[in-house]
Amino acid sequence: MTAWHTPAGQLDPAKVRAAYPILATKPGGRPLHYLDSAATAQRPKPVIDAVSEFLLTGNANPHRGAYTLGSMATDAYEAARTRTATFLGVPATELVMLGSATEALNLVARSWGKGNLSRGDVVLVTEAEHHANLIPWQQVTREVDADLEFIPVDDVTGEILWDRLDGLLKLRPKIVAIGHVSNVLGSIAPLAQIAPQIHSVGGLLAVDGCQAVANMPVNILGTGADFYAFSAHKMGGLFSGGGLWARANLLEAMAPIETGGDMIREVRLRDATFAEGTQRFEAGTPDASGTVALAAACEFLDELGRQQIHDHEVRMLERVLRELPEALPDARILGPKNAKDRAGLVSFSSDLVHAHDLATILDRRGVAIRAGHHCAMPLHEQLELSATARVSVAPYTTDEDLDALFEGLRDARKIFER
Amino acid sequence: MTAWHTPAGQLDPAKVRAAYPILATKPGGRPLHYLDSAATAQRPKPVIDAVSEFLLTGNANPHRGAYTLGSMATDAYEAARTRTATFLGVPATELVMLGSATEALNLVARSWGKGNLSRGDVVLVTEAEHHANLIPWQQVTREVDADLEFIPVDDVTGEILWDRLDGLLKLRPKIVAIGHVSNVLGSIAPLAQIAPQIHSVGGLLAVDGCQAVANMPVNILGTGADFYAFSAHKMGGLFSGGGLWARANLLEAMAPIETGGDMIREVRLRDATFAEGTQRFEAGTPDASGTVALAAACEFLDELGRQQIHDHEVRMLERVLRELPEALPDARILGPKNAKDRAGLVSFSSDLVHAHDLATILDRRGVAIRAGHHCAMPLHEQLELSATARVSVAPYTTDEDLDALFEGLRDARKIFER
Amino acid sequence: MGGVDDLYREQILEHHRAPHNFGALEQPSVSIDGRNPSCGDLVTMQLKLDDAGVITDVAFSGRGCAISQASASLLTDELRGKRADEITELGTPYVTELLGIEVGPARIHCALLGLETTQKAIATWRNKS
Amino acid sequence: MGGVDDLYREQILEHHRAPHNFGALEQPSVSIDGRNPSCGDLVTMQLKLDDAGVITDVAFSGRGCAISQASASLLTDELRGKRADEITELGTPYVTELLGIEVGPARIHCALLGLETTQKAIATWRNKS
Ligand SMILES: Cc1ncc(COP(=O)(O)O)c(C=O)c1O
Ligand SMILES: Cc1ncc(COP(=O)(O)O)c(C=O)c1O
């Protein structure tokens, strides 16, 4: 592990950066301080190479060809699924490979939801959910006339009020759908604590793991979740890729949503029977190169060490939380006060400088942050904010990146206090 | 154009092969004679390079970042969409970028279909459709109690009996969904002729263009289609990618199927409004690298010249049709007799050698063909065949590939006549 | 840092801090909300037009980034006396001129919000009359 | 070409051309269809079992590639006198031994079809009795 670590075993971001050639480029002539990894992570060289390698030497349609190259592609695809499953701590037979977390979350709502919800049933989500874990539930509850209820957030910090869960569980929700790590608050949901509570009233727990899997050790089976969704591009894989883990007995009882090739058993002119297991949900040609890229991303994250990544990111976030109020005194920081209760990101707003102006001003120092509602408009509405600025970190984030961030914040303050 | 062409202006496959490094590899120690491009095309170097280049120098989440790298990614993504639209002859504002043709065809059936079909309405497809253009229609017609009817095929050759269309149009189908080129028969649907017929009874024409767009000149607006679906990986792009073109007025009236980020206008806790235009159907983070790859594939196909590609492939198919009966006398060839009526492929069966045995025997000479039902089980059932062997060609197919094919066929005959 | 100083130069910041024509009209011919949902920027544009389609009065309110609010403010200074059909033809070049600087693709939708909302208001007014 | 000649060697082709135990039993204890939907291979397996769970008679029919049909034929020669629970434990190694050659991943599902159908037949018979 020492290639990426200090002698003391900590992640050394300066070493890690060598694996990310894009960080040495100068977009617009300025050094790149990429602090938007929560939107999409940068891809390390081994991932880019794995894609090229597959396309240059192993490309064929998996599951189909009765020839050597086809078997190679099948093997590569299935090995990549297995590698990803190992990374996530689940059996490969329960891991549905899809195009994105959005697809995965839609599958839960539209397949499990439509099959299991009816009039008056309750679905519980938090007020902080990403649109991808909210709108599908709005749609399905409306269709079947079920009720959508919310775990509220604190009006000021946005923190999810988990202590309200107990009361809400009296509604006996059939499913509780929540983010593992909030993509605005950075807070980590206390899955180990709430999963048994939810199960004790007969509910299921569906977890949107997009912001968790690359930023901290996650063993899905250990979380108590019944469904768990993730996106490859947040982990260093390609944009396309992601998946859904679900317990085998849940998958078995779910109907496919998308139909076509590769997910069938027998097709006649007027009807069709579907394949078993994960295959039933994977219509069309499998994305072999994307899955190979995802496996390479998992491999690389394991090489860095997920605990080490988390520790490094917490150190970076600690500094952000400490120095942000100095650089921009009116900053309203959302989410937990303590960096240890976070994974990967900090969002804030300022009355002095609007988030978009901030992002533009930071860009002039090459600092890339995200400004907006981060696909969580309802949360922003609850907080009476139209936009926030989000700083997100990664294994490759250095103190120099944060230096540039704070200099940029001081620029902004100077401009707007003028 | 001469880099890839003979002095007379024909495609020179020997030159073209230089752009496909995989063709020089030796899977299992044997030279590769890849005759399964209809399952997935090989990726030319410019496509592989475009992916690496984007990831190494331009990777960010499009549509989101208020920073330089984010704008670069947005520009690259939108330019790639426009390039693809130009290739297909449609306005970029009407081109929905999706993960695959399967997704595109499901979108037509599930969004347009559910919104427009009701009890007793008729949907017309051919008996030769790929499962991806059949099962979604089975599902939606069952759900709304509409009727699914079929344009029949000839029992012996499998050829689609287009002269039956006239009679079937008396049923006033609301939509006719057909493949532009059959992935089993290789036949080209007479779109220019049938589109006006279908429109004259008030029906729409949905076309599955998977097997057409890479093998012949296709100008979608000129075909008379109302919907047109395609897959990137059949064109030399990545596995993930593809899309749906639809007339703006149809798109406008369609509800999104997948919901989440990037496709919304405003989201509140209990309801949401959706974006306009193509964006409404593109939930989640856009696949920038995949779309950039697709655009590079379009660029490369245009460089080769689509008419030249088609002419070259017809020459290859002519030879297959001519020599196949000599090599395997009992071969039953499906589809048109004349190579000029085909694009890209020939399928056949033999009582002497089962398709799978043939594929295995051919593999020993490095010849990669596909054996099976090619995701068209109903067609095979109509023909009383359980499997066929399919040979498909591409710009990089050479006479040496076909020499190896025929030698392999003679091997098989020798083994089974023993 | 020249680019930013230009975009956030004194004139623009002035319009942001103390926007012109900010507030509401007594009896607007038309009043329309314009939003950039992706940013949360909001501009409400109110116009008074005479029968000849000439803008006789204007007010706006809103919240959001400096670029969106300053652009709307700068625009309102220009609208009185202009004919509706002059406005509908305007686009990015006009706003660039107003601001005195190229805004760039990442923020152009902020800069255009005021103009686009005005154009929406005119379309609505036309449909009504 | 050695590999193919091995896979398609005389013994296997013999079983393909003239399969053993091909046809139907008069009164099978159980009769089950097995399919490889992706290939279209079909094997119908019929077993007679006594009360002790010993296979006393067997027949199969089907169509498909040489590997699937020859493997099923070779298997039927081995089944009589075997106990049901012996069969349920068998897998790829057994079929490899029967065929005398490694089949490889692309075709192994063809080679296994006869065995898997037999196992399905036994499971069905158990559920019935
Ligand atoms: C005619 C046809 N339609 C649809 C498809 C489905 O395409 P994909 O698997 O890329 O979604 C294919 C290829 O598999 C095809 O050949
Ligand atoms: C918490 C969360 N959920 C879901 C998503 C959706 O992921 P994708 O756009 O990759 O489908 C994202 C990222 O955009 C996210 O951060």
pLDDT of D42 > 60? The answer is yes
* Residue C89 CB burial class (10 angstroms; 0-12, 13-18, ≥19): exposed
pLDDT at residue D2 tops 70: no
Residue type, B99: G
Q: State residue D5's pLDDT score.
A: 59
pLDDT on residue C1: 39
For chain B, the structural domain boundaries read 13-43+305-417, 50-302
- Cβ neighbours of D38 in A, within 8 Å: 63-64
pLDDT score of A90:
98
Rounded to the nearest angstrom, the distance between the alpha carbon of A149 and the centre of ligand 2 is: 21
List pLDDT tens digits, range A155-193: 999 999 999 999 999 999 999 999 999 999 999 999 999
pLDDT band of residue D1 (cuts 50, 70, 90) is very low
pTM beyond cutoff 0.90: yes
In B357-413, at which residue ranges do the beta strands (DSSP E only) sit?
367-368, 370-372, 388-392
Mean pLDDT of B391-396: 98
* pLDDT at residue C40 in the model: 81
H or E element, residue A388: strand A388-392
Q: Number of folded domains in chain D?
A: 1
Least confident interval from A77-81, B296-300, C97-101, D74-78: C97-101
Kindly state the tokens that stand for B288.
Answer: 């920038």
Q: How confident is the model over B112-149, as pLDDT tens digits?
A: 999 999 999 999 999 999 999 999 999 999 999 999 99
So what's the pLDDT on residue A65?
Answer: 66
Is the pLDDT assigned to residue B229 strictly greater than 60? yes
Percent helix / strand / coil, chain A, rounded to 5: 45, 15, 35
The three-state DSSP-derived secondary structure of C100-122 is: CCCCCCCCHHHHHHHHHHHHHHH
CATH topology of domain B13-43+305-417: Aspartate Aminotransferase, domain 1 (3.90.1150)
pLDDT for A222 beyond 80: yes
Mean pLDDT, residues C69-89: 95
Chain A residues lying within 8 Å of D107, measured CB to CB: 66
| CA–centroid distance for C31 within its chain | 13
**Which residues are within 8 A (CB) of B54 and not within 5 positions of it... i.e. 6 or more apart?**
B76, B288, B289, B292
The pLDDT of residue D129 = 75
In this structure, the number of other CB atoms found within 10 A of the CB of residue A315 comes to 16
B206: left (phi over 0), alpha (psi -120 to 50) or beta: beta
Q: Is the predicted pLDDT of residue A314 greater than 90, yes or no? A: yes
Q: Which of B373, B385, B418 sits opposite D13 (nearest CB)?
A: B418
For residues A196 and B63, which has the higher predicted lDDT (pLDDT)?
A: A196
Domain enclosing residue C105, as ranges: 4-128
Task: Answer yes or no: do D8 and B361 touch at CB < 8 A.
Answer: yes
**How many CB atoms lie under 10 A from the CB of residue C14?**
15
Residues of chain D with pLDDT > 90, as a percent, come to 78
Give the strand pairing for A204-208 and A227-231: parallel
Mean pLDDT of chain C: 91
Given a cut of 50, is residue B40 above it in pLDDT? yes
**Catalytic residue ranges of B:** 375
Architecture of the domain defined by A50-302: 3-Layer(aba) Sandwich (3.40)
Question: Which CATH number covers residue D118?
Answer: 3.90.1010.10
Q: What's phi and psi for A195, nearest 5 deg?
A: -55, -50
CA angle B59, B61, B64 (to 5 degrees): 140
- Provide the CA A271 distance to its chain's centre, in angstroms: 37
A298 annotated active-site? no
CA–CA dist A390, A376 (Å, integer): 12
Tokens of A53: 């390698």
Q: What is the mean pLDDT of residues D114-121?
A: 97
The whole-number average pLDDT for the span B399-406 is: 98
Would you state the structure tokens that stand for residue A27, as one six-digit string? Answer: 């977009």
Cα separation, B241 vs B289, whole angstroms: 10
**Stretch A119-138: mean pLDDT:** 98
DSSP state of C82: -
Identify the pLDDT of residue C2. 44
Amino acid B219: pLDDT: 98
The yes-or-no verdict on residue B340 having pLDDT over 70 is yes
CA–centroid distance, residue A102 to ligand 2 (Å): 6
* pLDDT tens by residue, B79-106: 999 999 999 999 999 999 999 999 999 9
* Dihedral in degrees, nearest 10, Cα atoms B189, B195, B196, B201: 120
Helices A355-363 and A399-417: crossing angle in degrees, nearest 10, is 120
Q: How many helices (H) and strands (E) does chain B have?
A: 15, 15
Q: Is the predicted pLDDT of residue B64 greater than 70, yes or no?
A: no
Is pLDDT at C4 greater than 60 in this prediction? no
**Position B65 pLDDT exceeds 70:** no
Distance CA B284, CA B260 (A): 6
User: What are the start-end ranges of the H helices in chain C?
Assistant: 2-7, 10-17, 66-79, 84-87, 92-99, 108-128
The span from the CA of B361 to the CA of B367, in Å, is 9
Q: Name all residues whose Cβ lies below 6 A of ligand 1.
A: A 261, 284-285; B 100-102, 130, 132-133, 179, 183, 208, 210-211, 231, 233, 242, 375
Using one digit for the tens of pLDDT, what is the confidence trace for A251-301? 999 999 999 998 999 999 999 999 999 999 999 999 999 999 999 999 999
pLDDT tens string B308-320: 999 999 999 999 9
Tokens read off for B368: 């990669």
For B261-270, write each residue's pLDDT tens digit: 989 999 999 9
Under 8 Å between Cβ of B223 and B245:
no
Q: State percent of chain A over pLDDT 90.
A: 98
Q: What are phi and psi of A123, to 5 degrees?
A: -115, 135
Mutation target vs C (from B64, B69, B71; most C CBs, 10 A cutoff): B71
> What is the rounded distance in angstroms from the CA atom of residue A341 to the CA atom of residue A313?
11
Q: Ligand 2: residues whose CB is within 6 Å?
A: A 100-102, 130, 132-133, 179, 183, 208, 210-211, 231, 233, 242, 375; B 261, 284-285
pLDDT at B307 over 90: yes
A386-417 confidence digits (pLDDT tens) = 899 999 999 999 999 999 999 999 999 999 99
